[in-house]
Amino acid sequence: MIRGVDAVPGQPGPLPDEALDALVAVLDEVRMGSRSRAELVVRTGLSRGVVAQRVSELIDRGLVVEGDPGPSTGGRPPRQLSFQAHAGHLLVADLGASSIDVAVTTLDGRILGHLDEPADIAAGPDAVLDRVDELFERLQAGTRGLAGRAWAIGIGVPGPVEFRTGRSISPPIMPGWDGYPVRERFAARYGAPVWVDNDVNVLALGEWRSGIAVGHDNVVVVKVGTGIGAGIISDGRLHRGAQGAAGDVGHIQVAGARAVVCRCGNIGCLEALAGGAALARDGEEAARSGRSARLAAALDRGGAITAEDVAIAASFGDPVALELLQSAGRQVGSMLASVVNFFNPSLIVIGGGVARSGDALLAAIRETVYRRSLPLATRDLLIQRSSLGALAGVMGAAAMVADELFARGGLARWVGAGLPAADMTEDGSAA
Ligand SMILES: [Zn+2]
């Protein structure tokens, strides 16, 4: 029996461990798409009897519904079983350095409502998370057909997160957030479990579950935004590392680079040379020194240069802006060539605001990776742009939450009680 889970009266009780394994296997299949019982037998390798039993348990627990008969192949047409994705909803937020994106989704991560607005992460956790609460409330009140309560909350933040506790740890651009209990705050308010991860892991999960990385088991997802970071899918699961800091490639030192001080305090970090903030800084310098008339005009209009201004200028053929993006692409590519030799991914996904804004950066990254990596590692390597666009963060946060809720370790903690509860993440075993 499952320890620490008390059955609610009227709800089906806890499951023995071996039954739980089969339940998770069947639920995983149904979450991927509607299936008949016969298909489930083939896909899970479980016996007919076990599949029938687990399916009726999932129906009893409100996680699976039986639909109309599907197409007949002779004889009685099989009934299709579907995941009950509307039994409740997920609330997710993707916090950027300068923006908040929130969404309400079905239990399988389909976005039902979405809001975004500019925000300054440096305003501190109280101000930013108060605003997230207000936006969550607005989504819950304003989304038509929203059923059930929030089953879970997912939050992506632009800095290092200790995944087990859901706390930011010494985030360089987030004053006041160090050690802040993001999980406890939302758990207390919504009575639902909360998972917090850094924005790049969230992006990687989104691309892997519903974007361009579907079907790949070894993927590096690089986010080139204000900073630079990477999420790693290794052998079919997100690799967070011992403390959750895996993939922090933005602070790898670039050999022979000019002595630029990074926001982390070190000198010559990749993101201090090739991240969005670096592009903005170098673009503004080119505008002020008169090397680029187009950037100078943008500076006059906006009062400052952003990475987006540099990308726009490059798309109009401005040679200085183009060289800035190409140089950034070569430096990111050079880092990635080392990663490719070390890790041998089948796909690299380039995402983030800077990567979205033009082709020059991606072209320079591709050229450098293929030139600098070993032939065996690049023989079948794909390097592609993120496919989820501006919704990637919230889609990823929803994918993270759905994985934690319905994976074996997560499901074991609540399926006996009937609904996920706020304290199911407490001892960190969902990490
Ligand atoms: Zn650094």
Quick check: 3 pLDDT over 50?
A: no
User: What share of the chain in percent tops pLDDT 70?
Assistant: 94
pLDDT of residue 367: 96
Give how far Cα 310 sits from Cα of 26, 227, 268, 280, 424, Å.
50, 16, 21, 7, 46
Mean pLDDT of 97-115: 94
pLDDT at 54: 94
Mean pLDDT over 334-341 rounds to: 95
How many A from CA of 268 to the centre of ligand 1? 7
Instruction: Reply yes or no on whether the pLDDT at 25 is more than 70.
Output: yes
pLDDT over threshold 60, residue 109: yes
DSSP-H helix ranges across 224-318: 270-274, 276-288, 293-302, 307-315
CA–centroid distance, 246 to ligand 1, in Å, is 15
CA 67/CA 197 separation, integer angstroms: 36
Q: Is the pLDDT of residue 197 over 60?
A: yes
Q: Does the pLDDT at position 11 exceed 80?
A: no
pLDDT digits (tens, 9 = 90+) for 376-420: 888 899 999 998 888 889 999 999 999 899 988 888 888 888 889
Nearest to 348, CA basis, from 247, 245, 197: 247
Task: Quickly state the pLDDT bin for 70 (edges 50, 70, 90).
Answer: low
Whether the Cβ atoms of residue 106 and residue 90 lie closer than 8 Å to each other: yes
Q: Which residue has the higher pLDDT, 417 or 338?
A: 338
267 Cα to the center of ligand 1, angstroms: 7
Specify the pLDDT at position 141. Answer: 94
> How far away, in angstroms, is 260 Cα from ligand 1 center?
10
Q: What is the pLDDT of residues 307-326, one digit of tens each?
A: 999 999 999 999 999 999 99
Lookup: tokens for 371: 């030139």
pLDDT digits (tens, 9 = 90+) for 230-244: 999 999 999 999 888
DSSP summary character for residue 262:
P
Q: Is the pTM of this model over 0.85?
A: yes
Ligand 1 mean position to 172 CA, how many Å?
9
pLDDT(251) > 70 = yes
- For the chain, give the mean pLDDT: 89
Query: At 108, is the secondary structure helix, strand, or coil?
Result: coil
Report, as an integer, the average pLDDT of 149-172. 91
Q: Which residues pair with 261 in a beta bridge?
A: 267
CA of 32 to the centre of ligand 1 (A): 39
CA distance 250 to 229: 5
- Choose between 417 and 30: higher pLDDT: 30
The pLDDT score that the predictor gives to residue 235 is 96
Q: Could you report the per-residue pLDDT of 294-307, keeping only the tens digit for each?
A: 999 999 999 999 99
Average pLDDT score over residue span 120-138 = 95
Determine the distance separating the centroid of ligand 1 and the alpha carbon of 158, expressed in angstroms.
14
- Alpha-carbon distance of 138 to 120, in angstroms, equals 20
CB 128 within 8 A of CB 95: yes
Taking only the tens place, the pLDDT of each residue in 260-297 is 999 889 999 999 999 999 999 999 999 999 999 999 99
* End-to-end CA separation in angstroms for the chain: 22
Residue whose C-alpha is closest to residue 14's, from 30, 25, 3: 3
Least confident stretch, 3-7, 253-257, 356-360, 381-385: 3-7
pLDDT at 429 over 50: no
Q: How far is the CA of 231 from the centre of ligand 1 (A)?
A: 17
Distance 222 CA to ligand 1 centre (A): 16
Q: Does residue 394 contact residue 114 with C-beta atoms inside 8 Å?
A: yes
Distance 228 CA to ligand 1 centre (A): 10
Find the 373 Cα to ligand 1 centroid distance in Å: 24
Residue range 344-366, pLDDT digits in tens: 999 999 998 888 777 899 999 99
The average pLDDT across 244-259 equals 90
**Cα of 263 from ligand 1 centre, angstroms:** 6
Distance 79 CA to ligand 1 centre (A): 56
Residues 6+ apart with CB under 8 A from 309: 280, 283, 295, 298, 302
Confidence of residue 125 (pLDDT cuts 50, 70, 90): very high
Using an 8 Å Cβ cutoff, are 14 and 7 in contact? Answer: yes
Instruction: Give the distance (Å) from ligand 1 centre to CA of residue 227.
Output: 9
CA 346 to ligand 1 centroid distance, Å: 27
- Residue pair 222/351 in contact (Cβ under 8 Å)? The answer is yes
Question: What are the angstrom distances between the C-alpha of 300 and each of 250, 294, 326?
Answer: 31, 10, 25
Q: What is the pLDDT of residue 388?
A: 87
Please tell me the distance between residue 180's alpha carbon and the centre of ligand 1 in angstroms.
22
Q: What is the DSSP string of 349-404?
A: EEESHHHHT-SHHHHHHHHHHHHHS-HHHHTT-EEEE-SSGGGHHHHHHHHHHHHH
Beta bridge pairs of residue 99: 118
pLDDT score at 382 = 96
The residue-averaged pLDDT of 125-154 equals: 94
CA distances, 45 to each of 26, 30, 41, 51, 175 (Å): 10, 14, 6, 9, 51
Residue 269 Cα to ligand 1 middle (Å): 5
pLDDT of residue 421: 87
User: How many whole angstroms from 430 Cα to the centroid of ligand 1?
Assistant: 30
pLDDT of 48 above 50 = yes
Q: How far apart are the CA of 202 and the centre of ligand 1, in A?
A: 21
What separation in Å is there between the alpha carbon of 275 and the centre of ligand 1?
11
Specify whether the CB–CB gap between 147 and 86 falls below 8 A: yes
Question: Distance, CA 138 to ligand 1 centroid (Å)?
Answer: 37
CA 266, distance to chain mean position in Å, is: 27
Compute the distance from residue 308 Cα to the ligand 1 centre, in Å: 22
* DSSP β-ladder status, 382-385 and 347-351: parallel
